[in-house]
Amino acid sequence: MADGIEKLIRPHLAGFSGYSASTSPDTLEGKVDVPLDSLVKMNANENPYGCSPRVLKALAACRTFNIYPDDGQQELRKLLADYAGMPAECIVAGHGSNTIIDSIVRLFVGPDDEVINSVPTFDIYRFCTEICGGKVVNVNRDDSFGANVKGIKSAISPRTKLIFLATPNNPTGNVMPPKNIVEIIKTGLPVVVDEAYYEFSGETVMPLIAKYRNLMVLRSFSKWAGLAGLRIGYGVFPPRVAPYLMAIKIPHNVSVAAEIAVHESLADIDYLQSRVDALIKERSRLFRELQQISWLKPYPSQANFIYCAVLKGSAAELHLNLQKKGVLVRYFDNPLLKNSIRISVGKPEHTDVVMKALREL
Ligand SMILES: Cc1ncc(COP(=O)(O)O)c(C=O)c1O
């Protein structure tokens, strides 16, 4: 019998460790002291208010799930264009903004090409780059997690194909000042500014796409519109780049359900904005409450989560102890994110549960 097919796997992927996603409640049966349906899930920056009720109604009424969606995304791109204030031909939508990141990397990065990453940051940039055989060039952020603009510029080499900047950054929650972003854009290299949390920060460099032909901006419906499970995100690109991304994307990469969800969400923007406003208000309260815990150091955030250094004891243990009490948070313990946790902002009652659990520990 011939050897297994694994030996034909591309060598750089044979030892690939993948991406470590947040814990799903379904996997916690028997591991927590509370019923699974009463878990307070603050580990994946989801929107606790859910999506617009209009989305639920329209999906229940839809009778065309047997028909493929429009591969050219014509209507969808128009809707997104109105929302983003950019021309429809600059927009490409996907099954979550993660898949747009994947397309961008596949478009620009080949084996041994370099991608500059401002770390610590969202790990998908590394993940997609490594899958393509590219090399991630990490430039460390400063002590307050500000991006090191000088360091990024001096990391540029003839092999640099992309620079990723997340603002607000995940998991640290801080925004990057627009003048620093512009300084990096002025290098002329393709720059991706990931604004997945834009609706919580109100800061965007989107209008600069008209001026700089190397700027790409990513957005998501997962967070502000409560559609993480439905999967819909988009990117806005210079007019000459968008057609390439449309050409290489997987056909029908946005479902009929997601098209409907965008339509209904944008028709219910005041409702969704009121939920975003509530989360922004709760972010301030959660931050103030976390500051009262002597062994936590929360960092100011413009996103829907708060990153905290754990000053006493182990973050891994804290995460497990909170999990036992039914509170899910994300924890980190690596050289760039030492002994720390990230807590998503929830409803006021979620803050109450988290704070009670933290005080009892
Ligand atoms: C910075 C950043 N970009 C992109 C994404 C991916 O969002 P989506 O759900 O649209 O794939 C996330 C999700 O956590 C994120 O934190």
Residue 140 to residue 118: CA distance in whole angstroms: 6
What's the token pair of residue 155? Answer: 């990391």
The CATH homologous superfamily for domain 24-50+270-360 is Aspartate Aminotransferase, domain 1 (3.90.1150.10)
- Furthest-apart CA atoms within the chain: distance in Å: 65
Q: To the nearest 10°, report the CA torsion of 112, 115, 116, 121.
A: -120
CA distances from 237 to 14, 84, 121, 294 (A): 33, 12, 22, 45
Residue 16 to residue 13: CA distance in whole angstroms: 5
354: helix, strand or coil:
helix
What's the token pair of residue 236? Answer: 């806005």
> How many Å lie between the centroid of ligand 1 and the Cα of residue 196?
6
Is residue 81 within 8 Å of residue 74, measured between CB atoms? no
> What is the pLDDT, as a whole number, of residue 22?
80
Return the number of other C-beta atoms located less than 10 Å from residue 283's C-beta. Answer: 23
What's the token pair of residue 131? Answer: 């899958």
Cβ of 47 below 6 Å from ligand 1: no
Please state which CATH class domain 53-267 belongs to.
Answer: alpha beta
> What is the pLDDT, as a whole number, of residue 21?
82
Distance between start and end Cα atoms, the chain:
57
154: helix, strand or coil:
helix
Residues of the chain with CATH 3.40.640.10: 53-267
Cβ of 122 below 6 Å from ligand 1: yes
Residue 232 to residue 55: CA distance in whole angstroms: 13
Extract the residue ranges of the chain whose pLDDT is less than 70. Answer: 1-2
Residue 88 to residue 79: CA distance in whole angstroms: 8
- Over the stretch 155-188, which tens digit does the pLDDT of each residue have? 999 999 999 999 999 999 999 999 999 999 999 9
Residues of the chain with CATH 3.90.1150.10: 24-50+270-360
> How many Å lie between the centroid of ligand 1 and the Cα of residue 95?
11
Atom of ligand 1 nearest to the CA of 168: 1
> What is the pLDDT, as a whole number, of residue 191?
98
Task: Tell me whether residue 37 is exposed, middle or buried, using C-beta atoms within 10 angstroms of its C-beta: 0 to 12, 13 to 18, 19 or more.
Answer: exposed
Residue 171 to residue 86: CA distance in whole angstroms: 28
- Residue among 192, 190, 117 at smallest CA distance from 147: 117
Which residue's C-alpha comes closest to atom 16 of ligand 1?
A: 170
Q: 0.95 exceeded by the pTM?
A: yes
